[in-house]
Amino acid sequence: MEITEGRSVSTRQLCFFLAFLLPVPKLLEAPALLAYYAKDDLLLPALAHFTLQAGMLAGIVYLSSKTDKTLFQLLADKWGLWAAKTAYFLLSAYYIFFSLLPLLGIERFVYTAFFDSAPSLSAFAPFFFLAAYAATKSLKCFARICDLAAPLFLVAFFGLMLLAVGEADFTALMPLFSSSPRSLSLGALRSFPHFSDTALLLPFLGYYRYKRGDGKKILLSYGAGSCFVLFFLAVFYGIFGAVSQLQPYAFSKIAGYFGGLAVIGRIDLLLVYLTTILLLFYYCLPLTLSVHCFCKAANIRNRIPASAVICLSLLLLTVFFNRLYSGLYSFVTVFAVWVFPLFAYGAPLTCLLTLLPARERRKKRRA
């Protein structure tokens, strides 16, 4: 059996990841995007995504309850080594593709929230140094970040919501189902890049050992994370109403309308800083997974060169696409949007197929 770096991820860490780290990137650009298409029904496409993703997550948990193998082993045992290697190369490429738009998004967000005018592009470079370091580490290290993320998220999220909720007029969400089915489905389709969580969990297979009762804990944690996002969406629309679609980085200013801040200053920015740190941690994950999958597929033990090459390439891509952001945005959310459901739904379902008995065994059983 493959060495999985000491069964590194505990149930607690996985639950913390689902409840406290997965919701964070959804607070950035997704609310304005959903409001643009679904208007006051913006909760519905989000709810649909969460429900479907919860189904996929249940499938992955079921898979981990049935086998202790890693994803690579599962694929290799079922379809051969080359199939497993190809799948891992594809996953590695997918994680880079997955990161591209959010990285440009967070870069633009930081420039908007923390800078008064446009800074130089190199200001965002430290993130790639951090990601390059994180990517050389095992998944166990990332799991430890989840422990750290829990208190940071709770302080930042509830702090921001406490300051913001008083300004929100929740009746702005009325009437339910006022948007056309076309707008709702378009909102759901375009927001796929923000709600494709399960693809990130596949490489954790085999690094986490299933125990009795874990299924409930994991699904409840995902449910809690989803509730945080839905509550944020409701407060967001309650505050901005008809101009919600103009607020791509709402969480940086959502608490700024609290009356007391005029006297004591923008202390809410401390909470925004905390959330941004969580975002940086979160965006290290796809890069870590990309390096992990690449090294596995290419059978490379030393991750440092692979990490350096991948992170440097992404840094160059970020600088290159910075000037072509709207073109890349249209490409990812319109022409290449099918890639996200392919990996977020297709990949887990394919993994579930590995549980089916082989054809020969089935024949024998029938005989």
Partner 1 sequence: MLKNSLRRKNATRYYLILIAFLFCFFFSNDFGLIDIQKTAIVIAAAIDRDGEDFVLTSQIAVPQASKQGEQVQPVQIESRGKTVAEAFSKVNAKTGWYPKLVFCNLIVLGKTAVERDVFEGLDFFLRDEYMADNCSLAVYEGEAKEILSSKTPIEEIPALAVQKVLSEHAARVGTALPVTLRTFSASHYSSAKSGFIPILKKEQASGESSSSAGQGNGNGQSQNQSGGQSQGESKETIFSASETALFKEGVMVGKLNDEQTFALAAIKRDLRLAGFFTGEAGNNYTLLVKKNENKIRLTIDKNAQPKLFVQTTVTAGIQDNSTPSTVTELAEEGSLPPALKKAAEKKLKRTVEEVFQIAKDCGADVFGATEMLRKYQSKYFSAYHDNLLSRVQLFVKIQFRALR
- Which residues of the shown chain bind partner 1 in the complex (CB under 8 A)? 110, 112, 114-117, 119, 123-127, 129-130, 133, 171, 174-175, 178, 240-243, 246, 249, 253, 256-257, 259, 262, 273, 276
State the DSSP string of 318-358.
HHHHHTTHHHHHHIIIIISTTHHHIIIIIHHHHHHHTTSPP
CB of 74 or CB of 314, closer to partner 1: 314
CB of 262 or CB of 267, closer to partner 1: 262
CA nearest to 97, candidates 301, 281, 305, 344: 344
In the complex, minimum distance from the CB of residue 112 to partner 1, in angstroms, rounded to a whole number: 5
CB of 85 or CB of 303, closer to partner 1: 303
Beta bridge partners of 9: 208
CB of 129 or CB of 320, closer to partner 1: 129
Alpha-carbon span 252 to 317, nearest angstrom: 26
In the complex, minimum distance from the CB of residue 217 to partner 1, in angstroms, rounded to a whole number: 33
**What tokens were used for 261?**
């801040």
Radius of gyration for the chain, computed over Cα atoms and rounded to the nearest angstrom = 21
In the complex, minimum distance from the CB of residue 64 to partner 1, in angstroms, rounded to a whole number: 32
Q: Which residue has the tokens 């309650």?
A: 238
In the complex, minimum distance from the CB of residue 310 to partner 1, in angstroms, rounded to a whole number: 17
Handedness of CA 310, 311, 312, 315 (dihedral sign): positive
What separation in angstroms does the CA of 61 have from each of 18, 57, 68, 202? 13, 6, 11, 10
Task: Determine the angle formed by the axes of helices 81-114 and 125-135, rounding to 10 degrees.
Answer: 150
In the complex, minimum distance from the CB of residue 243 to partner 1, in angstroms, rounded to a whole number: 5
In the complex, minimum distance from the CB of residue 63 to partner 1, in angstroms, rounded to a whole number: 36
First to last CA, the chain: 32
In the complex, minimum distance from the CB of residue 159 to partner 1, in angstroms, rounded to a whole number: 18
In the complex, minimum distance from the CB of residue 241 to partner 1, in angstroms, rounded to a whole number: 4
Alpha-carbon span 48 to 71, nearest angstrom: 27
Alpha-carbon span 244 to 161, nearest angstrom: 17
CB of 19 or CB of 255, closer to partner 1: 255
Which burial class, exposed, middle or buried, applies to 235 when counting CB atoms under 10 A from its CB (0-12, 13-18, 19+)?
buried
CB of 165 or CB of 219, closer to partner 1: 165
CB of 223 or CB of 241, closer to partner 1: 241
- 3-class SS of residue 245: helix
CB of 126 or CB of 305, closer to partner 1: 126
